[in-house]
Structure 1
Amino acid sequence: MSIHLNFPENVILEDNLVLLRPLQESDVENLLEVSCDDSSSTWKYALTRGDNKENLAYYIQLALKARENKTEFPFIVFDKKSGKYAGSTRFYDINLAFKTLQLGYTWYGKDFRGTGLNKHCKFLLLQFAFETLGMERVEFRADNNNERSIAAMKSIGCKVEGVLRNHMPTFGSEVRRDSIILSILRSEWFDEVKDNLKAKL
């Protein structure tokens, strides 16, 4: 049985480098430039793409509908150093009964990759998930061919659990993808992951 999570509408997570606030419909304008600047790379492994204004508007509408249904909570990511919006990320498959959720749908414009921004975002999101929401497990998934994403997840402390073979369709193709599953447990967050990640910020 799944109990939906009632997030406060004004969840804002921030530190000295990044601010995450709830995604809203008008953010099409804030995200259009970064979503299109390297679209073939940004959206290569995505099932729903924001590679032009129409697609990005649809992408955001789907995210907001899921938030209405209280199964997802999408954020827009603001980079304080550059004063620009960098991308988006979200909690999804939220299950309060089991104290689990997934963290994903994460993408950034090309200028924000490799800057340390992702680690700051993940620290804030994981801290919120484990310390405010009381989650026992945060799961991550990726296309098993997406080496950059998998490396990023491992670098923040995720442990690989296995691969779901032939798991889901891919965009515009009959080829199905294998999905790699990674996770962080509550005990791991407090024992080592939090301190290790904090040291990398």
Structure 2
Amino acid sequence: MNNTFDPEKDYLLEDNYALLRPLKSGDFELLKNFGINEPELWKFSLQNAGTEEGMREYLKAAMEKRKKGTSYSFIVFDKTKNEYAGSTRLYDIDVASRNLSLGYTWYGKNFQGTGLNKHCKYLLFEFIFEQMEFERVEFRLDSENERSMQAIKSLGCTFEGVLRNNGYRTDGTRRNSAVLSMLKSEWLESKKELLKNKLI
């Protein structure tokens, strides 16, 4: 492997539409309004950041997992609106097997359906498959989260199945988790070009 993922390194990903930089504890001031004013963003999330204190805990957990090398969170900046839009995360990072998961993705309501997500995912896929040379990206989400399911499928990901009753929602109820994925070979052979053509 020519490229090794280093959780202590600050990676910067950007194009003319989006910028992703490592999430910092000081970003609380940039994101707290999403927690206070848009609690519905965490309806299907595994961690509820839908309050001011919830957002503090969300950032604290993200920083701790980065220190352990199992997770790497980005804050998302929308360059067209000149505003911070949300966050996304690489997690369950397994360097030895060249696998990781991509999730904990959320955007404020003003940034949903704008094309921002596709730009972010294009940058992340390039980073994961081409720069870091990972072989597989997995997505797991609440099987009832139809909006996110369609968004992930639109990226070119393959639906693999459902893990039944495998976790808790923030309200304490159990959930089924849908699993989707993309492989490095698929990205390089066709999915990259297909997603590039969807960017606005």
Cα displacement (A) at 1:78: 0.3
Q: Counterparts in 2 of 1:1-201, with a 5 A limit?
A: 5-40=5-40, 42-173=41-172, 175-201=173-199
Q: How many residue pairs were aligned?
A: 196
CA distance in 2, matches of 1:63, 1:70: 11
CA distance in 1, matches of 2:79, 2:20: 11
CA distance in 2, matches of 1:171, 1:186: 33
* Runs of at least 5 residues in structure 1 that lack an aligned partner in the other structure: none
Matched residue type, 2:38:
D
Matched residue type, 1:180:
A
CA distance in 1, matches of 2:87, 2:77: 9
CA distance in 1, matches of 2:69, 2:63: 10
Cα displacement (A) at 1:152: 0.3
Given that 1:86 and 1:108 are in contact with CA atoms closer than 8 Å, whether structure 2 keeps it comes out as yes
Partner SS state of residue 160, structure 2 = strand
Deviations 1:74-110 (A, max 9, x none): 0000001111100000100000111000000000000
Identity among equivalent positions (%) equals: 49
Given that 1:5 and 1:70 are in contact with CA atoms closer than 8 Å, whether structure 2 keeps it comes out as no
Partner SS state of residue 20, structure 2 = strand
Given that 2:36 and 2:51 are in contact with CA atoms closer than 8 Å, whether structure 1 keeps it comes out as yes
Cα displacement (A) at 1:32: 1.4
Given that 2:5 and 2:132 are in contact with CA atoms closer than 8 Å, whether structure 1 keeps it comes out as no
CA distance in 2, matches of 1:196, 1:76: 25
